[in-house]
Structures are given as structure tokens and as C-alpha cells.
Amino acid sequence: MTVVLSLSVLGRSGQLARALWRNEGLDAECLGRPEVDVADLASVRRALELRAGAIVANAAAYTAVDRAEAEPEAADRVNRLGAANAAQVAAEAESPIIHFSTDYVFDGAKAGAYREQDPVAPLSVYGTTKEAGERAVRENNPRHAIIRTAWLYSHEGDNFVASMLRLGRERAELRIVADQFGSPTYVEDLADAVAIIAHDLLRTGDRHRYGTFHYCGGGVVSRFEFAEAIFAEAARHGYRPPVLTPITTAEYPTPARRPANSALDCTRIAEAYGIRQRPWRDSLAECVARMLPQGRGGRSS
């Protein structure tokens, strides 16, 4: 019989929080506004008292990468101060915390996949505030598992897959950046990994299972190749794909700089928890099938 673990999740509307709430191995209560303001320590204390003894998962984040360049204080309040408050309250309750971070803490200049001990060098306000959040978690709760992930997507909400399918319905041609590389991560796979980690931490409390870990989909691909795969899967469901044209990052300037290489080495999480990466194409096929029931096509003629 599967043991269901009680998990107090800070964050409610994001795709990760919703995936944790759906996960069959977790009895997750997702806490968001108006009942909790993660930047207010007293508010976090009150909210987490609702589930005394549960492991805390901090999925609250300011994720508007480009808007953060104009709103650094707002990003810092959630990504750094919110993380510090979550870690402190969990520590006061003698509970572990699982905190989520990003590939954007790296500058993307490394030739191979990033390991957890590689130096951080964020290029954007978003990356800088997420890296500050990591440090805040480490400083406030030694019983932490920080999970860096990359290119997260879901069958619901706003993400790269959803944006591609929406834009593909609206336009006959899409120009996609082809010189940024990473590992697409299906949010349901990440939630499964969290369930394994949470159960293990509660059962063993092994200090070797604390620290920083990388988890993402298996394999590395460019954003252009990812888009090609999205539309190839969509075509299986009657979707009429647009023409895709590869471009460079320089041809598609954005307020925030993105790392050219977001590949993450996931060896450590496999060694500590036995968690294996699912091939990203397998996960993408499942996601698109959930988004596009058979016969739902693309653009109108």
C-alpha cells in the first residue's frame, strides 16, 4: 500500500504547485494568497501552522523573467525573502524544506552539463534573486533539499509548450531561437521526484540526502529542436503545424539574458535518491496528448 505524505506547499497557482497537489504520493496543501504572503515572516508562520509536522515545499516564486528586469524589488521579495522565511519557519518546526531553483543561476558559458558545485554566475535579475534564495535557504535551515530544474513545462498553465501551440494556431511561421540549449522538464516528472525525496527525508533524515541537487528531463536539446518536437507530437493529434525558422539569440533580444547552455548534470540526485531522468521526448508525448485530444487541430484554413 502506498504511503501518502503530508506536504505543506507554499505556492498555489503555479504549474509546479498544481502538480504537487495532483501527485498521488503526496497529500499536498497548497498555500497562496490571500492566506499567505511569503515575504511576511508572520504570515508564513500562521499559514504553516495549518499543517504541523509536514515537510515544507517552497514552490512560491516570481517567474516573470523579463518583467523582473524592471521589478527587481518584487522579484527579490518572493525569490529571496520568501525563501528565507519558508526555510526559517520550517527550521523552527524542526522540519525539512524542499526548495526549487533554476538553471538561470548559471551563465551558460560552460561547455558541458553543470554540476551542483559549479560556480554560479546569474545573468538576470530573476537568476540573481533565485541564487540569493538558495543561499537564504542554506543559511536558515540545514535540513534542506534545493532542487534546481530547467525548462519546466506542463499540460496546463503558461509555459513554452503551451505558447508554441497557441502561437502555432495564430501564425503560419514561427521564428525560434536555435542557439540556447537545455533539458525540457515535465512538471509531473518533477513532482514524482519530489514525492520520492520527501518520503526519504521523513523516513531517514540522512544528512547525505540534504544539499543541492539537479533534476531535469533526460537529454539536451535546443529551443528550436524542442519546438520541432512539440509540433511533431501535436501533428499526431490532428494539429496543423506552422513553418519553423531557426534564429539566433541576437535576432530575438529580450530584457533578460538567458544562459546559452542550461544542461544540468543529474548524477547526484540519482546517487542520493535513486531518481532517474525520464527521456524528455517521452514526457513531451504524454504532455501533448493531455493538451490535444485526438482531432483537435491547429490553425484554421
- Give 133-150 pLDDT, tens digit per residue: 999 999 999 999 999 999
Assess whether 126 carries a catalytic annotation: yes
What is the pTM for the complete model shown?
0.92
Residue scoring higher pLDDT (157 or 286): 286
pLDDT digits (tens, 9 = 90+) for 184-211: 999 999 999 999 999 888 876 666 789 9
Query: Does the pLDDT of residue 279 top 90, yes or no?
Result: yes
> Residue ranges per domain, the chain?
5-153+185-219+263-278
Helices (H), the chain: 15-22, 41-48, 72-76, 83-92, 125-140, 160-170, 187-204, 223-235, 267-273, 280-291
Residue type, 127: G
What is the reported pLDDT for 297? 53
All three cell numbers of 171, joined, read 501564425
Judging by beta carbons within 10 Å of its beta carbon (0-12, 13-18, 19+), is residue 101 exposed, middle or buried? buried
All three cell numbers of 86, joined, read 519558508
Query: Does the pLDDT of residue 35 top 50, yes or no?
Result: yes
The DSSP-derived string for 18-80 is: HHHHH-TTEEEEEE-TTT--TT-HHHHHHHHGGGTTPEEEE------TTGGGT-HHHHHIIII
Q: What is the mean pLDDT of residues 140-162?
A: 94
What is the reported pLDDT for 298? 53
Residue type, 70: A
What is the reported pLDDT for 300? 40
What is the reported pLDDT for 295? 43
**5-153+185-219+263-278, CATH topology level:** Rossmann fold (3.40.50)
Catalytic residue among 62, 104, 114, 126: 126
Asked whether the beta carbons of 101 and 59 are under 8 A apart, the reply is no
Residue 106: DSSP 8-state? S
Query: Does the pLDDT of residue 53 top 80, yes or no?
Result: no
Cβ of 179: how many Cβ atoms within 10 Å? 15
